[in-house]
Amino acid sequence: MADFNQVILHNRKVDAVKRFHPWIFSGAIQQIGQGVEDGDVVEVYSAAGDYLATGHYATGSIAVKVLSFQPIDRIEQLFLHRFQAALALRQQLGLVGNDRTTCYRLINAEGDGLPGLIVDWYAGAAVVQAYSAGMGRQLDLIQHCLQAIYGTALTTIYDKSAAVFGKHQPATPHLLGSAIQGDVLEHGHHFQVNWQEGQKTGFFLDQREHRQLLAAYASGKQVLNTFCYSGGFSVYAIQAGATLVHSVDSSTKAIAWTDHNVTRNNPHQVPHAAIAGDVFEFLKQCEPIYDVLVLDPPAFAKSQSARHSAVMAYKRLNKLAFDKLRPNGIVFTFSCSQVVTPDLFQGAVMAGAIESGRRIRILHHLTQPADHPVSIYHPEGLYLKGLVLAVE
């Protein structure tokens, strides 16, 4: 067994670890080994001396993020195994070597056994985001694992951890190559992804299957895509035969990306307007001309303390959407706020529906796709909630 420093838990606090929950909170700790620093790999034991887990230590509420519930000798072997298993799953999902979809999530933090790490694949480029000190210190190992599993297919590794985690960053974000953006395919649609300037890793891969679902409802319809970012839903609506598409986002940069992507995917010149502005104000002022409406806002709450205000915001947003939808219209509505549970989100949407006074039925319950897996022992990993609603 490797010689890692130790963290000792109170005996009455070991049950969650024995149930394989990957987070150990600071209140569970009885003793921390001398010299343990933020980001160190530690072994976790009960006060009775029983081995429990190995993980990254961090100062803060979540004191250990568990990498393994079995003793490990070398962290390098564990990481390589996790990367190999993650790629094998994406191969099983039909995403690797797919000539119509060339982008997907490779590592989804706890869902792939590597808490604090996100890696997204964009047609030869791997974009890395470390969300913990431990992962921020493993960039060389992450690079090695990516090169080991992809070989020459990997042309760029871009570390975007500085956007969320400032320490332990190299002088350049490029661990391999020099590209800052690239072209990808998603279900045959062309998108330009800028991982240097874009949100998250550059593109919202978790909406891939929902964009495809929207296409089934868009033919012959007038579509409004709010919080459009780089125009994903807009492109699918246009390709599916929508008669008019409007895209709204507060970011002028996002609007420019939307225009670029729509132009690339609009051979029949479907009327499209990309509008930079506040979505709430746009919905208040626009004419009720839309048959299909997409609500895909950023997270309204990132902590429990903000959850109530987020629920109220979802209620107001959905009420505005219902008011601007034509009879027998369709609403795609989402929440990516992790602290807002599916029940809370549906309750907020229902409250907006009650205020609208319209008859509304749920057609689909939506969540993140299979390349964003959730550990059954870590329900907190389920963050994306969505509903497709028929509005009479």
Query: Around Cβ 68, how many Cβ atoms within 10 Å?
Result: 17
Both 347 and 250 in one domain: the answer is yes
Instruction: Pick the last residue of a domain from 160, 187, 214.
Output: 187
Query: Number of folded domains in the chain?
Result: 3
Question: Same structural domain for residues 282 and 322?
Answer: yes
Q: Whole-model pTM?
A: 0.95
Tell me: do 52 and 109 sit in the same domain.
no
Asked if 217 and 163 sit in the same domain, the reply is no
Q: 231 and 294 share a domain?
A: yes
Mind listing the pLDDT tens digit for each residue in 75-105?
999 999 999 999 999 999 999 999 999 999 9
Same domain membership, residue 354 and residue 217: yes
* pLDDT score of 163: 57
Structural domain including 53 reads 5-68
Tell me, what's the pLDDT at 1?
Answer: 53
The residues of the chain scoring below 50 in pLDDT are none
Helix (H) or strand (E) holding 54: strand 51-57
Query: DSSP class of residue 72?
Result: -
pLDDT score of 2: 67
| Cβ-count burial 2-30 (b if 16+ within 10 Å, e if not) | eebeebbbeeebbebbeeebbbbeeebbe
Q: If 0-12 CB within 10 Å is exposed, 13-18 middle and 19+ buried, where does residue 350 land?
A: middle
Both 209 and 171 in one domain: the answer is no
- Both 214 and 181 in one domain: the answer is no
pLDDT in tens, 125-156: 999 999 999 999 999 999 999 999 999 999 99
Q: Is the torsion defined by CA of 199, 205, 210, 214 positive or negative?
A: positive
pLDDT the model gives residue 165: 58
